[in-house]
Amino acid sequence: MSSCLQQIPVHTAPPYQVTVGPGLLRTCGPRLQEVLSPCRIAVITDSHVAPLYLERVCESLQSAGFSVVSRVVPAGEQHKTMATLAQLLEFLAEEHLTRTDCVAALGGGVIGDMAGFAAAVYLRGIRCVQLPTTLLSAVDSSVGGKTAVDLSAGKNLAGAFFQPAAVLCDTDCLSTLPPEILADGAAEAIKTGVLCDESLFSLFESGSLDLPEIIARCVTYKAGVVERDPTEQGERKLLNLGHTVGHAIERCSGFAIPHGHAVAAGLAIIARAAETRGWTDGPLAERITACLAQNGLPTGTDYSAEALAQAALSDKKRAGDTITVVAPRQIGVCELRKLPVSQLQSLIAAGLEV
């Protein structure tokens, strides 16, 4: 089909392809025929995405011979709950989906995580395809198989590792994103640049946002990490750069601060802390904060180190008396550092703006 498509294989068990480029929602039917036998597809989306893209997806699937049903859930992280998950599972059962059928997650990370989790547990697992519509879900959440819903005790506390059968990332969708939601995705992509790819980071410094190129680079990196460490025993923890403090900020705000904005602030804070502790090869925090700010992202928070440490320690990434944080050494090189939990508060304090 079109030559401006990029295809990135993910060699997990089972393997799948991520396709990135324009027009993929209008052609999703024939594309999914390549990976699915004729079946029933339940398209799950949210109330913002449905009026924009649901019809074109259902039409393309139907004309390719799939039997299609759809369900729209209210948009927003506050609906990424067990209650919505239960409604989705009841919906799949009411629509008589069987083990050979499929769920299509059409939306951002909230829909991808929740519909992916529904597919993982319905009948002990039916296939799922991811159709990401935000930059964040394109560069990060649609790839790698992490699915989840939030519990009152914290974010993503109930979930499963469940790889999709395919990911179709239609870059045309990004044109309808409000700037602050685009910025959320930029935060995860800048994070990837700091982790492994200085030239990706430089794209954000230069302001030349070639989004298909940025998505393909982020997905290629994430695919490699996920192939080597599918269930986050080691290397995959690096993807949590900025997330220890980021999740704490989200939590302190009662999830009013969106994930990408919180990760940006978390990244700036850990960069300043790492520099202050002498863990970096020279100065880098200023370069990171300037890049985040240039892309419409925050570089700090008003929450205290104490509140953030408390929130971080109730996160699931804690293991007994230690916590693993990801710290940048240079742009493009990061490392895992294990700390006694008692030192987390002073580390965060070292990273807060004065």
Positions touching ligand NAD (CB under 6 A) are 46, 48-49, 52, 75-77, 80, 107-111, 113, 133-134, 136-137, 140-141, 144, 146, 155-156, 173, 176-177, 181, 184, 259-260
Q: How far is the CB of 290 from ligand NAD (least distance, A)?
A: 23
Residue placing its CB nearer to ligand NAD in the complex, 101 or 184: 184
Cβ proximity to ligand NAD, 101 vs 170, nearer residue: 170
Q: Is residue 36 left, alpha or beta, with left meaning phi > 0 and alpha meaning psi from -120 to 50?
A: beta
Q: Residue 270 or residue 285: which is nearer to ligand NAD going by CB?
A: 270
Q: Give the residue nearest to ligand NAD (CB).
A: 109
**In the bound complex, what is the minimum distance in angstroms from residue 349's beta carbon to ligand NAD?**
26
Question: Do 218 and 316 form a contact (C-beta atoms < 8 A)?
Answer: no
Residue closer to ligand NAD (CB basis): 137 or 192: 137
Minimum distance between the CB of residue 198 and ligand NAD, rounded to whole angstroms? 22
CA distance 88 to 162: 17
For 198, phi then psi, to 5°, come to -65, -30
Least distance from C-beta 239 to ligand NAD, angstroms?
Answer: 8
Beta strands in the chain (DSSP E): 6-10, 16-21, 40-46, 67-73, 102-107, 127-132, 146-151, 154-161, 166-170, 318-319, 322-330, 333-340
From the CB of 32, what's the least distance to ligand NAD, in Å?
Answer: 19
Nearest to 174 by CA among 292, 21, 324: 21
Amino acid in the structure at residue 82: M
CB of 350 to ligand NAD, least distance (A): 26
* Least CB distance to ligand NAD at residue 162 (A): 10
**Edge-to-edge strands of the sheet including 333-340?**
318-319, 322-330, 333-340
Beta carbon nearer to ligand NAD, 172 or 329: 172
Do residues 269 and 288 lie in contact, with contact meaning Cβ atoms separated by under 8 Å? no
Q: Give 37 or 175: the residue with its C-beta nearer to ligand NAD.
A: 175
In this structure, are residues 145 and 162 in contact, taking their beta carbons and an 8 Å threshold? yes
Question: With respect to ligand NAD, which residue has the nearer C-beta, 70 or 134?
Answer: 134
C-alpha 89 chain-centroid distance = 22
User: End-to-end alpha-carbon separation of the chain, Å?
Assistant: 54
